[in-house]
Structure formats: structure tokens, C-alpha cells
Structure 1
Amino acid sequence: MPILLLAVTIILLDQWVKYYVQTHMTLGMSIPVVPDIFHITYILNPGAAFGILEHQTTIFIAVAILLVVAVVYFYPRIPKGCRLLRLGIGLQVGGAVGNVIDRIRTGYVVDFLDFRIWPVFNIADMAIVIGVGCIVISMFYFMPSETGKENGDSRS
């Protein structure tokens, strides 16, 4: 149940901030928070990270649906002790759904966090990236090793 709560929290926070940006800023408007370092800049992104695959809304929606279906199927099979993996999955699902809501509504994703040296992004994007990081760290550092079996060792 905590993964669902985390995902819903990410979705609600993401959508609320996007709504605030859309209702209080005009498209293209940029507000310096720390001049030349961090701005709130309202843009609409028709693609994925770095604007790749512009206007491929159907693909992005299909991938998000497949992600959610995979999580619903595999999540019960993840050992309860794999907390970092579960955290990563919750973040990733919340972020994916947050961006899919935008794509379904408008065909674009609302982006607003602008560090000037990186493409503008949003809370859902942060959740996806942090979630993937948690999953990768969990898989490389906290999953049981199978090296004994690979080397012909049949001991468990």
C-alpha cells in the first residue's frame, strides 16, 4: 500500500504545481529565483527528455500504461525487504502517471524547473529519474548475488 500512497502523492503534487504554473504564468515566462542559475520557466514539451520523440504522444501513453501494468503484476513478487526497490517503483509510477495526465489532456508536458544548464523539467521528471536511480542502486547493491550459480557452485 505505501507504493500507492507514494505514487498518488507524486501525482497530486506534480499536477498541483503544474496547475499553479499554468494559471499564474504565461507560456514562455521565466521568473529568476537565483539569477542565471535557477529560474521558474513555463514551457510545454511535446517530447521526452531533451525533447526527443516530439509529438509521439501515443507512444508515451502506451509506455506509461505498460509500466503500470508491469508494476501491478510484478510488485507483489518483490520481497518486502527490498525497500529501495519499492521506493524507486513508487516514484517512477507516480512520475510516469503525472506526465501522462498532461499528455492525455493537452498532448504536451508542462515543464518549469529551469537550471539554465539543463533542459527545463518538472516534478514528475524528477520522480522518474530518482526512481530509476533507486531501482538501479537496489539491483546492483542490494539484490542477492547469483555469482555462485554462474561459476558452477550449486550451493545456495
Structure 2
Amino acid sequence: MKKFFRDYLILALVSGTIIALDQWTKSIIRQNLALGESWMPLEWLAPYARIVHWYNRGVAFGLFQNGGEWFAILAIVIALGIIYYYPRVPAEDWTLRAAMGLQLGGAVGNLIDRLTVGHVTDFISVGTFPVFNIADSSITIGVLVLILGVWLQERREKRTRGQQSTAEDHPGEQVNFSKANE
């Protein structure tokens, strides 16, 4: 039972923090700005970034509008998949675990909107980029962390293969891989 809680503790902390922050910020926007209204406390920043109350029925960054029901189902499937698979990921694979926590938080944050208000509330507007929210950002950062993890894993495997092939090319010799001892 201890292992169960330990396995899920980080996932719950990461995704729970994202969900809470996402829902809190969306609530502030819905309470204080009318749909389409924008707010910018720093006028010099207005051409580049602003807060604007917007919504979408699609996925991250306004893609695939009017697919809300399908995306709600997809978010549930993804969340259940992450919850099932998470404890099977080795603790050493921190990038995959972090990516899963970020993606779970983002998926559930937007799912809550779909189920409670019928659409996803967006409010971060940067340049001409589509308006987005904390959940969208979390999903995107989760994907970037996942890509970083795959890249790091490939580098480790190449380095390990290179060390093994060097040792196999020189049987009987002790090969020293440490630069400090060269």
C-alpha cells in the first residue's frame, strides 16, 4: 500500500497543482472579464501579450472547433491511461513521469471546463498566436519534456553502446572510460 501512494504522490502533486492553478485562473477570468474583453495592466506589453476572455470547443490553441464531446472522451481516456501507466514507469525516468504529470493536469483542467461550462475558457494571448490557458500550456510543456526525455534516453543508449563496443573491440584489456583517469 505504501508503494501505491509513493508511486502516485508526485503524479498527484504535479497534476493537482496544475489543475488547481488552471481552474483558479479561469474562474478569475470568467468572473471579471466579459467574453471578448481584454485587460492589460502594463500598456507597453499590450502589442505583445494581453489577458483576454475567450473560449473554444476544440483542443489546445483553438484547434478542431466544435469537437468538444469527442475531446472530453479523449481526455478521459488519456487521463485513465496515464493513471494506469504511471506506476510502471521507472522512478529514474523523471522526464516521462514529469511529462505524464503535466499532461494529466492539462487534460483534466480542460476536461473540467468541458463538463461544467460546456467549453474551455482561454485567456492568455501572445502576439498573433491563438489564445490559450494554463492547461494548454501544461500539455504543451509536457510534450516538450517527453521529447527531451526521449532525446536524453537515446543519448544514454548510444553512449552505453559505444562503451560496450569499445570493450568488445579490445578483449582482455581493461578499458577506462573516465576522463579523470586518462
* TM-score normalised over the length of structure 2: 0.76
What root-mean-square deviation, in Å, do the aligned CA atoms of Structure 1 and Structure 2 show?
1.9
Q: SS at 2:130's partner residue?
A: coil
Percent identical pairs in the alignment equals 38
Letter in 2 for 1:20: I
Q: Does 1:129 align with 2:140?
A: yes
Counterpart of 2:81 (choices 70, 86, 97) is 70
CA deviation map 1:76-112 (0-9, x unaligned): 1111101111111101000010001011112211000
2:15: which partner in 1? 7
Q: Counterparts of 1:140 and 1:66 in 2: how far apart (Å)?
A: 26
Counterpart of 1:17 (choices 2, 19, 25) is 25
- Which structure 2 segments of 5+ residues have no match? 1-8, 162-167, 169-182
Letter in 2 for 1:115: V
Q: Counterparts of 2:83 and 2:59 in 1: how far apart (Å)?
A: 24
1:152: which partner in 2? none
Equivalent pair of 2:38/2:52 in contact (CA under 8 Å)? yes
- Which structure 1 segments of 5+ residues have no match? 149-154
**Higher relative CO (CA 8 A, sep ≥ 6), structure 1 or 2?**
1
Which structure's residues are more often helix, by fraction? 2
Indicate the structure (1 or 2) with the bigger Cα radius of gyration: 2
Letter in 1 for 2:62: G
1:151: which partner in 2? none
* TM-score normalised over the length of structure 1: 0.88
